[in-house]
Amino acid sequence: MTRTVRAAIATAAAAATLALAAPAQAHPFDPKPGADGVGDPLFPTLGNGGYDVRHYDLSFDFTPVTYDFTGTMKISAKATQDLSSFNLDIDSLAIDAVKVDGKDAAFAVSLGKSGQELTVTPAGGLHDNRPFEVAVTYHGNGKTKPIGVPGWRYMSDGGFASAAQSSRADTFAPVNDTTMDKASWTFHLTAPDGWTPGANGTKTGTRPAGEGKTTSDFRLDVPMASELLGISVEKQTLLTGHGPHGVKLRHYVPDDQVATYRPIVEQTGGQIAWLEKTLGVRFPFDTYGMQIVRDGYSDALENQTLSLFGPGWFKNACTSTTYTNVMVHEMTHQWFGDSVTPTTWQSAWLNEGPAVYYAALWADQQGTASMEDKMRTAYGKLDAVRKTDGPPGLPTELGGFNIYDGAAVVLYALNQQVGQDDYDAIMKSWLTKHRHANADSQDFIDNAIRVTHDPSLRPFLEDWLLSKDNPPMPGHPDWS
Ligand SMILES: [Zn+2]
């Protein structure tokens, strides 16, 4: 749910009270355009206002090597105001037709600040609080240079994988590309026989699509922000297994490297068990796995239920400690970022801080690297970074030290301040209270106070999150 949605609900509630006082008048239909952004401080035009997506149903037919694709995105949404028109985020997609509730709708494409805006004008407008269905048919080529940042990753076999964070899902399909509008998803990915599609969620079947092609179906019943879109078509092999208490494990690895990657992906079950024990909260989804690509991508990304990894992490030069740390980092995100999703990108420290923190704790408990040494080093560096890139709670952009190791230092400071038991209780409560929803820095502070009954944690955490200077580290007066 979006902030504009909340405002709309508040307005609607006020209107309802008035209506009770004077029941003669229903509120007149007064359609206006939905906003072209939801006001994310770091990405003001990301996402759109006036509606709330409930479900995305993506059909995507990809031709390897040429990278041509066709798509149909069906969106089930609910209006949160009377709408004369509404926007979807796209980037370099050629729109063929748009239908709303089965009828042709007028549409226009314009330049946005991070891609393009698809403005849809349904005949007669849409009524507040009513569900509606949108179907956008489109085509394109994955190698077209996008207007914003590219989300496509190209593999040397002619396949692709999506790396959509933070604003690139719109290079694959029309979406409401804000963290605030989470929705369930189904995928129908079509590729020539011999090519294997992968997607978030559980594979529910395959069926012939004609012309030597097969369609693979997937469904994700829990809500997901579009930034966590994880689709691929590659020459890859699906490996399956079982994690704790029936969590289904499924991994995609290059089909000529199964022997290399099987012993690596088989470590995920044990890591899930370790994180569940450490966090005191069960894995938030019924499926998990790794997508390890052959090349074309060198980072790692927490796509929901299917983390994406470049091959570099697993090369000979990397020790098992290095690669298991990054495995634990992306797995931690399934709780922090994927299940509990920041309301805006300004609160990205709530994704990266815990991911760095618990990967460091993992390394410490494996006996490979001291967590205290890592935090002391990061504390020393953070003071200068606060001044150049912003403090952890007010970053000037994503991807910096402030929201990664710097944010882990904030969590470490909280731990030192309240003690291990209260720290664990705060994190457990955070994950439980905001499961499969959105929350931000103020929600984190509110939760910490609620758990500990200690109101001094508000100035304490605000100082750590927002100050231009490092506060002193509790319990470590010698740190500077
Ligand atoms: Zn991360």
Q: State the residue range of the domain holding 256.
A: 235-316
Q: Is residue 478 assigned to a domain?
A: no
pLDDT tens for residues 333-368?
999 999 999 999 999 999 999 999 999 999 999 999
Do both 35 and 75 map to the same domain? yes
Question: What CATH number is associated with residue 461?
Answer: 1.10.390.10
- The arithmetic mean of pLDDT across residues 296-319, rounded, is 92
DSSP 8-state assignment for residue 227: G
Contacts of 402 (CB under 8 A, 6+ apart): 349, 382, 385, 386, 389, 390, 391, 392, 395
Contact 131, 113 (CB under 8 A): no
Q: In this model, does residue 425 exceed pLDDT 80?
A: yes
Cα–Cα distance measured from residue 368 to residue 137, given in angstroms and rounded to the nearest whole number: 51
Question: What CATH number is associated with residue 308?
Answer: 3.30.2010.30
What mean pLDDT, rounded, does the chain reach? 93
Do both 91 and 7 map to the same domain? yes
Contact 93, 222 (CB under 8 A): no
- The arithmetic mean of pLDDT across residues 259-280, rounded, is 97
Which phi and psi angles does 129 have, rounded to 5°?
75, 10
Question: What pLDDT does residue 26 have?
Answer: 64
Residue 347, SS3?
Answer: helix
Question: What pLDDT does residue 434 have?
Answer: 98
Q: Is residue 453 assigned to a domain?
A: yes
Q: Based on the structure, what is the number of domains in the chain?
A: 3
Question: What pLDDT does residue 113 have?
Answer: 76
Do both 305 and 199 map to the same domain? no
Q: Is residue 326 assigned to a domain?
A: no
Do both 390 and 459 map to the same domain? yes
- The arithmetic mean of pLDDT across residues 300-319, rounded, is 91
Cα–Cα distance measured from residue 250 to residue 368, given in angstroms and rounded to the nearest whole number: 28
How far is the centre of ligand 1, averaged over its atoms, from the C-alpha of 346 (Å)?
A: 15
Domain final residue, candidates 282, 300, 316: 316
Cα–Cα distance measured from residue 226 to residue 180, given in angstroms and rounded to the nearest whole number: 10
Do both 79 and 18 map to the same domain? yes
Q: Is residue 76 assigned to a domain?
A: yes
Do both 38 and 113 map to the same domain? yes
Q: Which residue carries 């490297």 as its tokens?
A: 257
Question: What pLDDT does residue 23 have?
Answer: 45
How far is the centre of ligand 1, averaged over its atoms, from the C-alpha of 457 (Å)?
A: 25
DSSP 8-state assignment for residue 126: B
Cα–Cα distance measured from residue 74 to residue 146, given in angstroms and rounded to the nearest whole number: 22
What are the residue ranges of helices labelled H in 316-440?
A: 320-335, 349-366, 371-389, 405-418, 420-433
Do both 260 and 381 map to the same domain? no
How far is the centre of ligand 1, averaged over its atoms, from the C-alpha of 302 (Å)?
A: 7
How far is the centre of ligand 1, averaged over its atoms, from the C-alpha of 332 (Å)?
A: 8
Contact 432, 281 (CB under 8 A): yes
Contact 34, 47 (CB under 8 A): no
Do both 185 and 241 map to the same domain? no
Contacts of 4 (CB under 8 A, 6+ apart): 35, 38, 39, 49, 50, 80
How far is the centre of ligand 1, averaged over its atoms, from the C-alpha of 265 (Å)?
A: 19
Q: Where residue 27 falls among pLDDT bands split at 50, 70, 90? A: confident
Do both 176 and 45 map to the same domain? yes
Q: Where residue 317 falls among pLDDT bands split at 50, 70, 90? A: low
Question: What pLDDT does residue 22 have?
Answer: 43
Q: Is residue 328 assigned to a domain?
A: no
Q: Which segment of 87-101, 240-254, 307-321 scores lowest on mean pLDDT?
A: 307-321
- The arithmetic mean of pLDDT across residues 34-63, rounded, is 93
How, if at all, do strands 307-309 and 290-292 pair?
parallel
Q: Is residue 139 assigned to a domain?
A: yes
Do both 270 and 171 map to the same domain? no
Q: Which residue carries 């059909």 as its tokens?
A: 59
- The arithmetic mean of pLDDT across residues 11-36, rounded, is 64
Question: What pLDDT does residue 454 have?
Answer: 98
How far is the centre of ligand 1, averaged over its atoms, from the C-alpha of 328 (Å)?
A: 10
pLDDT tens for residues 80-110?
999 999 999 999 999 999 999 999 999 999 9
Q: In this model, does residue 15 exceed pLDDT 80?
A: no
Do both 291 and 410 map to the same domain? no
- The arithmetic mean of pLDDT across residues 7-28, rounded, is 47
Neighbours of 373 (CB within 10 A): 11
Question: What CATH number is associated with residue 43?
Answer: 2.60.40.1730
Q: Which residue carries 């090519």 as its tokens?
A: 195
How far is the centre of ligand 1, averaged over its atoms, from the C-alpha of 397 (Å)?
A: 15
Q: Is residue 333 assigned to a domain?
A: no
Domain final residue, candidates 301, 316, 331: 316
How far is the centre of ligand 1, averaged over its atoms, from the C-alpha of 221 (Å)?
A: 23
Spatial CA neighbour of 176 closest among 112, 227, 251, 104: 227
How far is the centre of ligand 1, averaged over its atoms, from the C-alpha of 352 (Å)?
A: 5
Structure tokens at 282: 């069960």
Residue 456, SS3?
Answer: coil
Contact 471, 464 (CB under 8 A): yes
Do both 135 and 242 map to the same domain? no
Which phi and psi angles does 19 have, rounded to 5°?
-60, -35
Cα–Cα distance measured from residue 290 to residue 282, given in angstroms and rounded to the nearest whole number: 19
Q: Is residue 355 assigned to a domain?
A: yes
pLDDT tens for residues 368-413?
999 999 999 999 999 999 999 999 999 999 999 999 999 999 999 9
Q: Where residue 319 falls among pLDDT bands split at 50, 70, 90? A: confident
- The arithmetic mean of pLDDT across residues 181-210, rounded, is 98
Cα–Cα distance measured from residue 362 to residue 347, given in angstroms and rounded to the nearest whole number: 24
